[in-house]
Structure 1
Amino acid sequence: MDLQLLEYARIELTRALIDNSGKTKGQLQAFCEHPPADKDRNPRKPIHVVELDNGRGGVRCVKAENSAVYVLETRSRRRPLPPINDNEFSAAPWRRAVNMLPEHEQAWLRYCYGFDLTFRYQTMICEAIWNGHQHALPPGLLKKTKKRIISLVWLAVQEVAAQQMNDTYKQYAGALLATHLGVSRSTWCEVYAPHWKMLKSAVELLDLESLSSVLTRMPEPNFEEDIG
């Protein structure tokens, strides 16, 4: 697939999947900073007596711990803000396309381009990569060696994700990874380096397949309407 088209998809997905929920204050924080309650109209009393109709033509009095409070309008403008801004509306097709993908592809796109650190997404990505890599394990592999290879899965996911979002990212050196696994450099080169390369290739393939799946589910642009 065209590299420019893939890069375009990465940029649009980053814009569509980014979490913008923290750009405005929450309701509780706004109330704490500017309390809208006006206590002058209805002064607070320790015990407030409310008169209620008992249904028999009489009145019964009920004691309430809280009195009525007059609350001002919470918004500062007459016209409320739109429920969705223009940028989020234009990115909606990309989010719909992502939602139609398999779960492990959704998890990868949300983690890599939406910066979503949900643990469930991380687990699904690692399981998908490991399940595809198990056929490459040699027969009779020691359990200790297998556990060390499993520990490389998440590192491979992190490295590929960092490479996609940062051109200046420096890859893990073999000596550093050997130290991380607690093995010698020669053992790393002979036993673990091939698996490390295959794991990274599997993550890169997952990225390519996920982006391609999103692009195939995107509606084709109507240039005639844009010109009109």
Structure 2
Amino acid sequence: MIAQGYEFIRQQLIIATADLCGSTKGQLQALLEDAQFDTKNFRRKKLKVFDEESGRWVTRDNPPISAKQSRAKCTHIPLVLPVEYVTASWRRALLALEPQESAWLLWCYADVTSYAHQAEIVRWVWNEFSAFLTGRRVAHKTLARLRALVWLAAQDVHHELRGKTDRYQHKKLAELAGVSKTNWSENYAYHWDEMRGVFQRLDKSALLNVSRTRSQQKEVFSTPGIAKMN
């Protein structure tokens, strides 16, 4: 799939998982629907005020009076918004994925900061990264530092995918790992790039699978069938 295809799926997931439960009409819309009527046929008794400059009593126009509407103007908020109904297929497909894929998509594009999702992501990525290290000689201290960098790599890839500029630089990563910049470049930079690659592959596979699952579910749900009698 080309880059535009992945980006399309990302945008659909962001829209589908957006939190719209607190949406309201807004103050201006409510005031517009419940506006008072201005009638010239049945005005209330006008008020007169004394003008000190002219020395005369001046009649003021009354504000608009309240009146009953001949038909309802107010509109109700639907229980299910149109955008929620249209994007339901994406949410249904998202929840049918493997645990690590659904956890990644929910955390990365729905901003769901559940600890269970974060733990599932870190556990799966570390297992994949450990398979990459099989057969390589890595010091125990280096391995412990690499394990501590897993979540930083997740955040770095997340920022990259969402178009954010606050990415981790090698100097900052060396400080967080407690090593010199030279030591980082020689012993950690290669592993850091591979760790980020695991997250990038997880993202692409999850996006492909959610699109395929959605297509399969729509095909199944759109197939006409006859209910069987009991």
TM-score when normalising by structure 1? 0.68
Structure 2 SS opposite 1:171: coil
CA distance in 2, matches of 1:200, 1:114: 20
The superposition leaves residues 74-93 of structure 1 with CA deviations (integer Å, 9 ceiling, x where unpaired) of xxx99864321101000100
Q: Is residue 175 of structure 2 the alignment partner of residue 165 of structure 1?
A: no
Which residues of 2 match residues 12-161 of structure 1 at below 5 A?
Answer: 12-23=12-23, 81-137=77-133, 139=136, 141-161=138-158
Residue in 2 aligned with 1:8?
Answer: 8
Residue in 1 aligned with 2:223?
Answer: none
Aligned length: 170
User: Which of 177, 180, 184 is the aligned partner of 2:176?
Assistant: 180
Structure 2 SS opposite 1:22: coil
| Contact 2:126/2:147 (<8 A) preserved | yes
Which residue identity is paired with 1:201? Answer: G
| Contact 2:105/2:206 (<8 A) preserved | yes
CA distance in 2, matches of 1:19, 1:147: 38
CA distance in 2, matches of 1:23, 1:126: 34
TM-score when normalising by structure 2? 0.68
CA distance in 1, matches of 2:189, 2:150: 13
Identity score, percent:
32
Report how far residue 174 of structure 1 moved.
1.0
Over alpha carbons, which structure has the higher Rg? Answer: 2
CA distance in 1, matches of 2:74, 2:158: 45
The superposition leaves residues 103-145 of structure 1 with CA deviations (integer Å, 9 ceiling, x where unpaired) of 1100000011001111111111111110000023255533322
Report how far residue 172 of structure 1 moved.
1.6
CA distance in 2, matches of 1:171, 1:195: 17
The superposition leaves residues 139-182 of structure 1 with CA deviations (integer Å, 9 ceiling, x where unpaired) of 5533322111011110111111111111x525321111111111
CA distance in 1, matches of 2:191, 2:157: 15
Alpha-carbon RMSD across the aligned residues, in angstroms, is: 2.4
Residue in 1 aligned with 2:43?
Answer: none
Structure 2 SS opposite 1:23: coil
